[in-house]
Amino acid sequence: MDIVFIKDLEIETIIGIYDWERKIRQVVCLNLEMSADIRRAAATDRIEDTLDYKAVAKRLIGFVEKSSFGLVETLGERCAEIVLDEFPVDWVKLRLDKPGAVRGSKSVGIIIERGRKP
């Protein structure tokens, strides 16, 4: 199995359950690992033959910037669904960090895996 990844994609959004969180934009950070067979792309050197990580990133940026969820769990699940439904990916591992959410901690968040791991 080959993996295409996106590391530390920072996006501003409305996220949180407290009243003050509903009034400001906060940064969330996405890390993704996605299954993709890269052999054909390696042979042809054509973007059309691989998983276009820029297209994935742009789609997620657009979605997350416009979203307004209470829980990181909901946001992470929706992002994983987008990747699996809209791109040639059978499996995704997604880490969603919410920096500064807990005093004394660098970040909190979730790690989920969805789909069928080859």
**Which residues are designated catalytic?**
98
* Listed residue (76, 81, 94, 101) closest to 8, CA to CA: 94
Location of structure tokens 């050197």: 45
77 to each of 20, 63, 102, how far by Cα in Å?
24, 12, 21
* Listed residue (69, 65, 116) closest to 92, CA to CA: 116
The token duo for 92 is 């995704």
**CA 40, CA 44: separation in Å to the nearest integer?**
6
